[in-house]
Structure 1
Amino acid sequence: MYNSSGIYFIVILAMGVSWIIQWRLRSKFSQYAQVGLQSNLSGKQIAELMLADHGITDVRVISTEGQLTDHYNPTDKTVNLSEAVYAERSAAAAAVAAHECGHAVQHATAYSALQFRSAMVPALSAVSKFMPFVLLAGVLMIRSTVIPLGVGIVLFSLTTLFSFVTLPVEFDASKRALAWIDRRGIVTPQEHTMAKDALWWAAMTYVVAALSSLATLLYYVSIFMGSRDRR
């Protein structure tokens, strides 16, 4: 029987690092939310201005419940800003609002990485419903057959690929956001530093998720290869 301690270590490590990153992210956003913008623009106003500057007229800026729930929805073309970001006039709100609009700009300009990620969504939605059961069956049946685990690994590799494709999409959106708020005079040099720092910590959550997914995938692959070697 294979040693399962490795997967427990990976999961615990991933949870620990993820918790630290999330805590640091919330701490940074809380800190920078207290810094009022000299431009005195709200997150909603910043988002609408960025969209207008890029000639995007078919995307709406709306408020959504929760904290750090901000996202761009390409299906209905909406920039969804959390209630605080939507109304606040702070360095944190400026960073988030511009970042989400960065995704809208990617969509409007057919940014290849975003298109690839969007194309993967339907398949991943279907896979995510039964992948955990396939992997569990594969682990339980490893002594008799490696087929279920092999199928599970293929399915899991899609989620890992998605995690890594997400990275350039997120980093590019932040790059677009920071360049625009600087060029447009939305932030002062000090506020720009805060916005950049907040977006960096947000990006780290995606980096940790991608690396955790890769580590878990490699662990399942090691179980698969170990089982084949014993046959």
Structure 2
Amino acid sequence: MPGIWIIFIIFALLSAGVSWRLRSKFNEYSQIGLTNGLSGKEIAERMLHENNIYDVRVLSVEGMLTDHYNPQDKTVNLSADVYYGRSVAAAAVAAHECGHAVQHATAYGPLKFRSAMVPFLTVSSSYLQWIILIGILLINTTIIPLAIGVALFAVTTLFSFVTLPVEFDASRRALAWVQNRNIVNQREYGFAKDALWWAAMTYVVAALGSLATLLYYASLLMGGRRSD
């Protein structure tokens, strides 16, 4: 199927392009200092406290763009550039991750659903590619392994699409808060919004790429059924 390889190449290029653009934007906005001079850590703690969240810790972690919220131990984990940074990029990322903490505290539906899927996906991801490989090799004998693999991959794809409203909502909460609390001025707000938009696009491309892969495996499965 030469067509499917073209699709894979397109998504690989899109993913690489969006990731490059995100890093470029982060680097650009990391050079623009906040007028108020607050650090990412200070912004994160202020947003948490103003949302009546006092049981979430703000930590510094290694790496670039490794920022994330961990609902298991209730920690907002910020990369050093964000934790210590006093830039527009640091403000945007710190507020976004705190947006996830606010989602958790308010029992935001998509986040609860996404979190419930994590244990299953953690286990299944260890075997998924092997099951699909075995299913493809045995497709002329039996379609059962491939059918199981497609079902597992469908859950993975669902997870990537459930992630989209979670990420967009966290950015919406972050941008509303930094604007309403005058954390950023009008110019800085535009930069922060642009940075978070590119971050969201990485999830969009990943979800669409996962869907394209699922459709490919599903087409192999349907082809195997017809040959039985």
Q: TM-score range by the shorter chain?
A: over 0.9
Partner of 1:205: 202
* Superimposed CA distance per residue, residues 75-127 of structure 1 (whole angstroms, 9 cap, x where no aligned partner): 11110000000111111100000000000000000000000000000000110
Partner amino acid for 1:37? L
Percent identity (aligned): 64
1:167-182 maps to which residues of 2 (within 5 A)?
167-182=164-179
Partner of 1:166: 163
Aligned counterpart for 2:76 among listed residues 76, 79, 89: 79
- Is this contact kept in 2: 1:86–1:93, CA < 8 A? yes
Aligned counterpart for 2:31 among listed residues 29, 34, 38: 34
Aligned-pair distance for 1:222?
Answer: 0.7
For 1:136 and 1:176, the matched residues in 2 are separated by 42
* Superimposed CA distance per residue, residues 54-75 of structure 1 (whole angstroms, 9 cap, x where no aligned partner): 0000000010000000000111
- Is this contact kept in 2: 1:149–1:224, CA < 8 A? yes
Partner amino acid for 2:39? S
1:70-149 maps to which residues of 2 (within 5 A)?
70-149=67-146
Aligned counterpart for 1:47 among listed residues 33, 44, 47: 44
Matched, 1:224 2:221: yes
Aligned-pair distance for 1:212?
Answer: 0.3
1:147-162 maps to which residues of 2 (within 5 A)?
147-162=144-159
- Is this contact kept in 2: 1:10–1:216, CA < 8 A? no
SS in 2 for 1:187: coil
SS in 1 for 2:73: coil
1:17-32 maps to which residues of 2 (within 5 A)?
17-32=14-29
For 1:10 and 1:130, the matched residues in 2 are separated by 25
For 1:81 and 1:54, the matched residues in 2 are separated by 19
TM-score, normalised with respect to structure 1? 0.97
Aligned-pair distance for 1:7?
Answer: 4.1
* Superimposed CA distance per residue, residues 2-29 of structure 1 (whole angstroms, 9 cap, x where no aligned partner): x3x3443333222111100000000001
Partner of 2:10: 13
Partner amino acid for 1:24? R
Aligned-pair distance for 1:228?
Answer: 1.6
For 1:37 and 1:137, the matched residues in 2 are separated by 54
For 2:50 and 2:209, the matched residues in 1 are separated by 38
- Is this contact kept in 2: 1:6–1:219, CA < 8 A? no
TM-score, normalised with respect to structure 2? 0.98
Partner amino acid for 1:93? A
RMSD of Structure 2 on Structure 1 (CA): 0.9
* Superimposed CA distance per residue, residues 169-188 of structure 1 (whole angstroms, 9 cap, x where no aligned partner): 00000000000000000000
SS in 1 for 2:126: helix
| Aligned positions, number | 228
Partner amino acid for 1:12? I
For 1:161 and 1:225, the matched residues in 2 are separated by 20
Partner of 1:184: 181
For 1:155 and 1:230, the matched residues in 2 are separated by 23
